[in-house]
């Protein structure tokens, strides 16, 4: 990235970007993973500064109400944050995939909360327990975190997830398995106020890739979102029932019908779900599927997932 690229991003965060520069920014974000990461990182910093300064503003109000208010360390810290807060005007948090930026990043639109942004660069490998046993960790079928291999490079960073099998440790009746599953449970109970009027929308994206595979084989990729109550989310048997019978509060699914044979291209799949007011947890489900009857088997020879992003935004029912 060049200094002028950073200036474009900063102008957007400042709320001072013009129409022509905004088009340039959109093109930059579509074509540069580094630019998308920079927007993500700067947005996250500004959001945290906004949160910290909001606490200081509350303290300032208390000081003004006091009969003998005077300067204090807290007072001076508020003025130190003010220039940075100006840079957060018009901020959108979490739009760092090229397609999502193109589709949703409009000037002066509302803020988003980043629920998940994982390129598998750090953290433990996913558990092999099938459906998740707790929030905040990956689980599913057998998989591993890897670096570049089989001609496939991570979409960003140096790591990606490789799907190995379509079964998990201790799976009852593993015979006939042909879908490699990955799950993540996200606790939304701290967002209850934002969900209360039914205008909260969860948006997700992930990218998929594969090493070259025989022409007689075919693979599809699926991303699903499930809105769950606490009872559903904390009961593993209940989770399995939700996913097999559509017994969730709400769900949405999107499919990439044909994974291509080019290891140089990552294919993006997106999905979104309007969340009922009573939602306590969001279940994220990604999978790679043997798509022809003749090839169905529990093993995958070279299939990868990277850059899983989930955000929470608000959108009126009319949109």
Q: Is residue 199 part of a domain?
A: yes
What is the residue-averaged pLDDT of the chain?
A: 79
pLDDT exceeds cutoff 90 at 307: yes
Q: Is residue 194 part of a domain?
A: yes
Can you give the residue range of the structural domain that contains 31? 3-108
| Residues written for the chain | 319
Enumerate the β-bridge partners of residue 140: 182
Separation between Cα atoms, residue 106 and residue 197, nearest integer Å: 23
**Is the domain of 164 the same as that of 89?**
no
**Is the domain of 96 the same as that of 23?**
yes
**Is the domain of 75 the same as that of 157?**
no
Running DSSP on this structure, what letter comes out for residue 131? Answer: S
Q: Determine the Cα angle at 168 with ends 165 and 169, to 5°.
A: 130
**Is the domain of 214 the same as that of 158?**
yes
**Is the domain of 74 the same as that of 17?**
yes
Q: Is residue 182 part of a domain?
A: yes
When pLDDT is averaged across residues 114-123 and rounded to a whole number, the result is 94
Q: Encoding tokens for residue 201? A: 């929308």
**Is the domain of 225 the same as that of 241?**
yes
Of 65, 86, 108, the domain-final residue: 108
Of 108, 139, 154, the domain-final residue: 108
Q: Is residue 246 part of a domain?
A: yes
Running DSSP on this structure, what letter comes out for residue 13? Answer: H
Q: Is residue 305 part of a domain?
A: yes
pLDDT for the residue numbered 14? 64
Find where tokens 């490998």 sit: 125
Query: Predicted confidence band at 43 (pLDDT cuts at 50, 70, 90)?
Result: low
**Is the domain of 140 the same as that of 164?**
yes
When pLDDT is averaged across residues 300-318 and rounded to a whole number, the result is 91
Separation between Cα atoms, residue 58 and residue 77, nearest integer Å: 13
Q: Is residue 293 part of a domain?
A: yes
**Is the domain of 207 the same as that of 308?**
yes
Report the chain's terminal Cα–Cα distance, integer Å. 35
Q: What is the CATH number of the domain that holds 266?
A: 2.60.120.260
Q: Is residue 123 part of a domain?
A: yes
**Is the domain of 152 the same as that of 273?**
yes
Per the model's pLDDT, the better-predicted residue between 268 and 73 turns out to be: 268
Of 108, 135, 164, the domain-final residue: 108
Q: Is residue 319 part of a domain?
A: no
pLDDT tens across 220-260, in order?
A: 999 999 999 999 998 777 777 777 777 899 999 999 999 99
pLDDT tens across 61-116, in order?
A: 444 454 443 333 334 333 333 344 333 333 333 333 333 333 333 233 456 899 99
**Is the domain of 120 the same as that of 103?**
no
**Is the domain of 77 the same as that of 140?**
no
Count how many domains the chain has: 2
Contact residues for 17 (Cβ-Cβ < 8 A; gap 6+): 8, 11, 25, 107
Give the pairing type, strands 219-228 and 200-210. unpaired
**Is the domain of 193 the same as that of 275?**
yes
* Numbers of helices and strands, H then E, in the chain: 8, 11
In 3D space, the residue among 78, 77, 109, 81 whose CA is nearest the CA of residue 93 turns out to be 109
Separation between Cα atoms, residue 204 and residue 100, nearest integer Å: 9
Separation between Cα atoms, residue 91 and residue 43, nearest integer Å: 7
């Amino acid at each position: 990235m060049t200094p002028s690229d950073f200036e474009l991003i900063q102008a957007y965060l400042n709320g001072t970007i013009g129409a022509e520069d905004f088009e340039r920014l959109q093109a930059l974000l579509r074509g540069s993973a580094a630019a998308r990461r920079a927007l993500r990182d700067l947005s996250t910093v500004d959001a945290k500064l906004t949160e910290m300064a909001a606490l200081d503003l509350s303290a300032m109000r208390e000081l003004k109400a006091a009969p003998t208010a005077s300067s204090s360390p807290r007072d001076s810290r508020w003025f130190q944050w003010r220039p940075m807060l100006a840079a957060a005007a018009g901020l959108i948090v979490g739009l760092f995939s090229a397609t999502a930026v193109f589709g949703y990043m409009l000037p002066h639109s509302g803020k988003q909360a980043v629920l998940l942004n994982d390129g598998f660069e750090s953290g433990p490998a996913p558990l092999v327990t099938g459906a998740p046993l707790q929030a905040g960790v990956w689980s599913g079928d057998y998989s591993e975190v890897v670096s570049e291999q089989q001609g496939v490079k991570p979409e960003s960073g140096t790591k990606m997830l490789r799907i190995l099998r379509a079964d998990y440790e201790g799976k009852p009746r593993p015979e006939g398995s042909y879908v490699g599953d990955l799950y993540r449970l996200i606790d939304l109970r701290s967002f209850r106020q934002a969900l209360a009027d039914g205008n909260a929308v969860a948006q997700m994206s992930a990218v998929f890739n594969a090493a070259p595979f025989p022409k007689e084989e075919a693979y599809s990729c699926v991303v699903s979102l499930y809105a769950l109550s606490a009872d559903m989310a904390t009961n593993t048997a209940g989770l399995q029932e939700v996913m097999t019978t559509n017994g969730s509060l709400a769900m949405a699914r999107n499919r990439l019908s044909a994974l291509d044979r080019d290891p140089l291209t990552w294919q993006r799949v997106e999905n979104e779900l309007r969340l009922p007011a009573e939602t306590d947890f969001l279940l994220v489900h990604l999978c790679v599927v043997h798509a022809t009857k003749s090839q169905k088997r529990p093993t995958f020879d070279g299939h990868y997932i990277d850059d899983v992003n989930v955000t929470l935004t608000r959108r009126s029912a009319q949109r």
